[in-house]
Amino acid sequence: MLPHWKEAYVTVNGAEFHYVRTGNNTQQPLLLLHGFSDNGLCWLPVARDLEDQFDVILPDARGHGRSTRVQPDEIIDNAADAAGLIAALELQKPIVGGHSMGGLAATELGARYPDLVKSLILEDPAWIDPSPDEVPLAENPFFSWLLNMDGISSDEIIEQGKINNPNWPDAEFPAWAESKRQLDKNIFPRVNVRKPWREFVAALTVPALLVTADVEKGAIVTPAAAQEATDLSPLLQVAQVPDAGHNIRRENYLAFMQAVQAFLNQ
């Protein structure tokens, strides 16, 4: 984080959430929700570029970063946690952005708590439909890697990350690597990204930007799903970013930010 930013903890739904904040309540709040296994500071480049325009808040989700650990048999409700953060921090109608798991949470937040948000920015949200060919989480190579990270240093994680993601800017790796070391492994049995995203999209009453990318490069939201989403909500617009997969902003930052700024300037 930058020296003039601040970090703190806030109690939400009986749990402690860590967050970083770039400003104060004199600017429009922008709440950014990270993806699974990341942390709030994984939004660092975006927050750095938008801090002059917005009061950017970067929370660590439950079981991630430095936020509360996951309890046995706990049901994780990231949308309710985000709503609690908005209330606890007294954010007035924040713009809410989210990537992957955070994008799904932002979609659900907009549907369930429409009076709390001004608009949504959804970076390849985890709008995932069940599939008979789906690999169980325990057999997913990325999840397996996360589960077997004990004793691996940040430098080793960064080295592996650069091998797997050679087109990411160097600035992305420090927070990304640290987030992997911080992840609470107890979260794995509690992960739920199979949610009725179509119901959430249809229920939206605020403007939303869906940022999509190339499915062949790993993006989740297909062109068919994006079209279906716009059919479900006249408030949803789509920006297709070329030369990027699931981590859109990490793989084509300039195009991602151009799409976001165009939406924010409307």
pLDDT of residue 126: 96
pTM for the predicted model, two decimal places: 0.96
CA separation for the pair 87, 43 (Å, rounded) = 22
Reduced to 3 states (helix: H, G, I; strand: E, B; else coil), residue 100 is coil
Please say whether the beta carbons of 70 and 189 come within 8 A.
no
DSSP letters spanning 13-53: TTEEEEEEESS-TTSEEEEEE--TT--GGGGHHHHHHHTTT
Beta bridge partners of 239: 211
- Pairing of β 95-99 and β 119-123: parallel
Q: Are 20 and 178 in contact (CB under 8 A)?
A: no
Q: Would you state the pLDDT for residue 192?
A: 72
Q: What Å distances lie between residue 235 and 41, 170, 224, 231, CA to CA?
A: 29, 36, 18, 10
Q: Which domain holds residue 253?
A: 6-264
- Any domain includes 66: yes
In a domain, 36, yes or no: yes
> Does residue 50 contact residue 57 with C-beta atoms inside 8 Å?
no
Is 1 part of any domain?
A: no
- The answer to whether 58 touches 41, Cβ cutoff 8 Å, is yes
Residues of the chain short of pLDDT 50, as ranges, are: none
Q: Kindly state whether residue 214 falls inside one of the protein's structural domains.
A: yes
Q: Is residue 226 part of a domain?
A: yes
Give the pLDDT score at 1. Answer: 77
pLDDT of residue 73: 82
The total number of structural domains in the chain stands at: 1
Question: In the chain, what is the straight-line distance between the N-terminal and C-terminal CA atoms, in Å?
Answer: 29
Q: Which pLDDT does position 225 carry in this prediction?
A: 97
CATH of the domain at 19: 3.40.50.1820
Per-residue confidence (pLDDT) for residue 41, from 0 to 100:
98
Q: Is residue 20 part of a domain?
A: yes
pLDDT at 9: 98
Residue 106 lies in a domain: yes
Give domain status of residue 121, yes or no.
yes
pLDDT value, residue 82: 98
Q: What single letter denotes the amino acid at residue 103?
A: G
**pLDDT tens-digit series, residues 221-245:** 999 999 999 999 999 999 999 999 9
